[in-house]
Amino acid sequence: MRKGEIHNKGEISLQRIIDEIKKNPRINEVGAITCFIGIVRGKGKNGSRVKKLEFEAYEEEANKVLSKICEEIIEKNGVIDVHIHHNVGTLNVGEDIVYVVVAGEHREETFQALREAVERFKKEAPIWKKEHTEKGSYWVTNI
């Protein structure tokens, strides 16, 4: 499994990512694993009810960007492992969009690294979101 990767819905689970992190040879240094799970919200940017979201990615480039973010954050003091896994395709309200998981020596390092990973992938990865609402469909910038 790559540390950063695009998946079709159902191809990856949070438990599988955590299991992979626990295989890290440095797991004995880990005191905390934190995660961010982005899910489909039922209210759109324009305030209308969301029916579904559609995610597309320039997959090859997105995989490179997500992996690069993970590798750069791992270099920070106290961070042992980082994974970012983003789903593409059509997702319904309540379904998981993205998993960001960080393992580190202490919770503070993992919280900081988790926030950085989330903010960076949203700005840097070529992933696009289309909102389908009761009032129409539109592409959303700055996912």
* Predicted local confidence at residue 142, as pLDDT: 63
Q: What is the pLDDT of residues 108-140, one digit of tens each?
A: 999 999 999 999 999 999 999 999 999 899 898
pLDDT at 143 over 90: no
Question: Which residue type occupies 56?
Answer: E
* Predicted local confidence at residue 140, as pLDDT: 87
Q: What is the pLDDT of residues 48-83, one digit of tens each?
A: 999 999 999 999 999 999 999 999 999 999 999 999
Q: What is the pLDDT of residues 20-42, one digit of tens each?
A: 999 999 999 999 999 999 999 99
CATH 3.90.1170.40 assigned to domain 4-140? The reply is yes
Label residues 8-39 b or e (16+ Cβ within 10 Å = b): eeeebeeeebeebbeeeeeeeebebbbbeebe
The sign one gets for the Cα dihedral 12, 124, 133, 56 is negative
Model confidence, pTM: 0.94
